[in-house]
């Protein structure tokens, strides 16, 4: 994976992290200075042109400076610098004629090596690419990216551009590498310049709103568990199926809301019943590209949101949905570019609700060149997990289905409790979308 990649040492001066990057740094809290990359993989049927593959990678790196970014400690704080040029040769790995099942197993082992390999943040590139040749005409293309470089929107941006660029090369075009509307360094500078104004306008809201707030408290949580947290991460998933998913979409239209807010309200209702809490904070993440000129920036721009849920025990689902919607809108108006979330990490309670909308990239994947089909390759091995988190619940929207995927630390939260959470969430959602005026209790 790009071990041969070299960077020219002509770099921008060290610059401060954004508030989003500081939040990420706070939830990981690494002391060793060594970090892992997150793997993203595509299953490809057909032969890729290796020259155009490399040129597509080079074009992506040249266009997005976040892929040329590395980090180092300066005066006790993490800062970033961007190299003007970075070389990242695509590594080719042959698994040999071992049969289909054995070849896939070998590929997954290699992807696991990508996820497990440690990297020094001060030494770039923090972005790697490898092509694994399976049997027949199948291949797996693996990208390893450090999470400080991306959020969910960035993944869409990078891979949409990558496959478009490859298709253009195949068709004989020589597209110029166009400059993004706003460079990531310019975004950081914009945030620094607007910080004082943010404090004047919004900090009071968060200090007042969070006063007296409590984190989610899971029943039976082991508060002083020991062990190597990075290796002790389990996963559970559940699909709602086409029928319930269609009912959720239909209910959202009737109630003039979004599917994500419906799921968030149902999640809050289940948390309240499981934990016997009436007043608690739900932590989530949201796209930080609020200005049109920021829409094509690749980087870690997603920012945390605190949503305070206060329930009487008498409300209907419709009333809870309205309360959660109002809380969400206010959180967006006062979105945290002042570091309040980083200062009050304990309110996250090690728990995150993450909505994953249907990916534009997922819609575009398919036949990207004559005789070449591409789709996501789902890797279910060990992945990186924030050091300070106990549970992250991902709700992902697919073509005709809504599913839930939970990653959690079993030394803190029992697997049986997580299973119950998902069962109760589906049951709550099924009951409430059919009769939103029914009392939750």
Q: Are residues 150 and 28 in the same domain?
A: yes
Residue 57 has pLDDT above 90, yes or no: yes
Q: Are residues 276 and 420 in the same domain?
A: yes
Question: Is the residue at 363 inside a domain?
Answer: no
Stretch 268-285: mean pLDDT:
93
Pair 156, 218 in one domain: no
Question: Does residue 142 sit within a domain?
Answer: yes
pTM of the model: 0.84
Q: Check whether 276 has a pLDDT greater than 60.
A: yes
Can you give the residue range of the structural domain that contains 112?
A: 15-170
Region 395-416 average pLDDT: 87
CATH code of 225's domain: 3.30.559.30
**Span 115-167, pLDDT tens digits:** 888 888 888 889 999 999 887 788 999 999 998 899 888 988 999 899 999 99
In a domain, 5, yes or no: no
CATH of the domain at 29: 3.30.559.10
If asked whether residues 162 and 207 sit together in one domain, one would say no
Do residue 160 and residue 213 come from a single domain?
no
Asked if residue 410 and residue 264 are part of one domain, the reply reads yes
pLDDT tens string 63-95? 999 999 998 888 878 888 889 889 999 999 888
What pLDDT digit, counting tens, does each position of 334-354 carry? 988 878 888 888 888 889 999
pLDDT at 219: 81
In a domain, 372, yes or no: no
- Tell me the pLDDT band of 26, cut-offs 50, 70 and 90: confident
Tell whether 254 and 163 lie within a shared domain: no
Q: How many domains does the chain have?
A: 2
Same domain for 56 and 129, yes or no, is yes
Residue 230 pLDDT exceeds 50: no
For residue 189, being part of any structural domain is answered with no
Residue 176 lies in a domain: no
| Claim to verify: residue 272 and residue 125 sit in the same structural domain | no
172-215 pLDDT, tens digit each: 888 777 778 888 888 888 888 888 899 899 999 999 999 999 99
Q: Are residues 108 and 208 in the same domain?
A: no
Choice among 321-325, 355-359, 435-439 with the minimum mean pLDDT: 355-359
Separation of alpha carbons 200 and 323, rounded Å? 26
Query: Does some domain include residue 227?
Result: yes
> Percentage of the chain surpassing pLDDT 70?
90
242 and 340 within one domain: yes
**pLDDT score at 320:** 95
Q: Are residues 61 and 127 in the same domain?
A: yes
- Tell me if 346 is assigned to some domain: yes
pLDDT at 224 over 70: no
- Mean pLDDT value across residues 2-12: 46
pLDDT at 228: 44
């Amino acid at each position: 994976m790009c071990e041969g990649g070299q960077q020219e040492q002509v770099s921008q001066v060290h610059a401060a992290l954004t508030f989003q990057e500081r939040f990420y740094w706070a939830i990981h809290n690494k002391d060793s200075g060594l970090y892992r990359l997150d793997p993203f993989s595509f299953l490809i049927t057909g032969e890729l042109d290796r020259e155009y593959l490399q040129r597509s990678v080079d074009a992506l790196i040249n266009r997005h400076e976040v892929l040329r970014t590395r980090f180092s400690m300066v005066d006790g704080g993490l800062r970033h610098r961007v190299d003007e040029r970075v070389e990242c040769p695509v590594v080719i790995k042959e698994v040999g004629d071992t049969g289909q099942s054995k070849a896939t197993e070998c590929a997954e082992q290699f992807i696991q090596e990508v996820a497990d390999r440690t990297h020094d943040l001060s030494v770039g590139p923090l972005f790697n690419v490898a092509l694994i040749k399976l049997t027949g005409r199948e291949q797996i293309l693996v990208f390893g990216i450090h999470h400080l470089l991306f959020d969910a929107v960035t993944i869409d941006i990078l891979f949409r551009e990558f496959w478009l660029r490859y298709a253009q090369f195949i068709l004989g075009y020589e597209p110029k590498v166009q400059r993004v509307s706003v460079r990531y360094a310019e975004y950081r500078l914009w945030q620094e310049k607007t910080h004082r104004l943010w404090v004047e306008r919004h900090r009071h809201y968060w200090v007042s709103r969070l006063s007296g707030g409590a984190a989610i408290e899971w029943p039976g949580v082991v508060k002083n568990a020991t062990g190597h947290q990075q290796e002790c991460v389990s996963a559970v998933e559940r699909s709602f199926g086409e029928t319930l998913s269609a009912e959720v979409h239909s209910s959202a239209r009737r109630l003039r809301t979004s599917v994500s807010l419906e799921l968030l309200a149902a999640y809050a209702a289940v948390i309240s019943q499981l934990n016997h809490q009436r007043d608690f904070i739900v932590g989530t993440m949201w796209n930080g590209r609020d200005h049109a000129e920021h829409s094509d920036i690749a980087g870690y721009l997603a920012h945390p949101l605190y949503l305070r849920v206060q329930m009487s025990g008498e409300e209907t689902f419709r009333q809870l949905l309205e309360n959660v919607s109002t809380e969400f809108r206010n959180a967006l108006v006062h979105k945290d570019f002042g570091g309040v979330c980083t200062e009050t990490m304990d309110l996250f309670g090690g728990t995150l609700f993450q909505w994953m909308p249907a990916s534009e990239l997922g819609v575009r994947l398919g036949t990207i060149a004559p005789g070449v089909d591409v789709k996501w390759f789902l890797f279910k091995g060990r992945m990186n997990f924030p050091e300070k988190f106990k549970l992250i619940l991902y709700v992902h929207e697919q073509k005709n289905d809504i599913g839930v995927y939970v990653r959690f630390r079993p030394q803190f939260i029992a697997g049986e409790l997580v299973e119950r959470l998902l069962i109760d969430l589906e049951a709550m959602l099924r009951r409430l979308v059919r009769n939103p005026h029914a009392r939750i209790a």
